[in-house]
Amino acid sequence: MKNTMTKFFRWIGLLLIISTLSGCFYWIRVYQTYLQMDEFDDNFSVTSSDVFNLNFKNPKLNSKDFNSLLKVQPSSTSGTESDKQWRYLFKKIDKDWQLVKPDISFYFNLSFNAKDKLKQWTLSSLFLHIAPPEFLEVSIRSIAGAEIHKDTRQLKADTSLIEKVSTDLPQKKDILSQLGNPIEIKDKEENEIYLYHFLLETEDIEEGYEDRALSKIELTFDKKTDELIKMSGRFVGLKISIRYRNYLVEKKDKLASALKEKKK
């Protein structure tokens, strides 16, 4: 009953959002996908090796929805109408907007089924160096029950409601070996923030959304440990922010788990 009432009030929130928009019915399918997060394992699965795949078991979104949401065309398309794939390719640039040599790039793919429904979202290996699969999955799972901000159309997750991960945080030296030097380093009292720029390879951007070609990534490192503690970025208008420590189990829980395994 409580879950039913929660969904009801979320639908009321959605109607309030849509009432402020014009012709944006694709937001209904976006919201339906958001509601699916409540039963994550029934609606999604995750696979990862050198890439990260989020698989949609009961897809709602279609390719037209992504055109409406992103306002930019993919870098390339492949496959057939019954099994098509869109790729968004991001290439690293310097402070003068020039492509770096040798090439440093990452991509994400969208794969659609015969009904033009999104069946898989894929992130390339380079991106996994700044957002390891364990943290990606748990951050996606945290969307369930996230607070919706009507004005900004953003979600704020409650990380206390999800199962945490027990793994090491990414190290600065490992990330620099993959991404190279940043275009800027911001020095804070306890942290350093490394700024990277990537340019989306595309030939068609809707007028007024030209700024979406530029993707900015900020990586926050702890000065004492050189650990990556936060990643934030904007990719074709989609904002992503992961505070890694929020998803880690506490040290005492790690110790208890280790001792339990040792006794077995």
Report the number of distinct structural domains present in the chain.
1
- What does the pLDDT look like over 131-182, one tens digit per residue? 888 888 888 888 765 555 545 555 555 555 567 788 889 999 999 999 999 9
State the residue range of the domain holding 42: 2-263
- What does the pLDDT look like over 95-117, one tens digit per residue? 999 999 999 999 999 999 999 99
Element at 30 (helix H, strand E): helix 26-36
pTM over 0.85: no
Q: How far apart are CA 107 and CA 128, in angstroms?
A: 11
What Rg, from alpha-carbon coordinates, does the chain have?
20
Closest C-alpha among 196, 197, 192, 214 to residue 205: 214
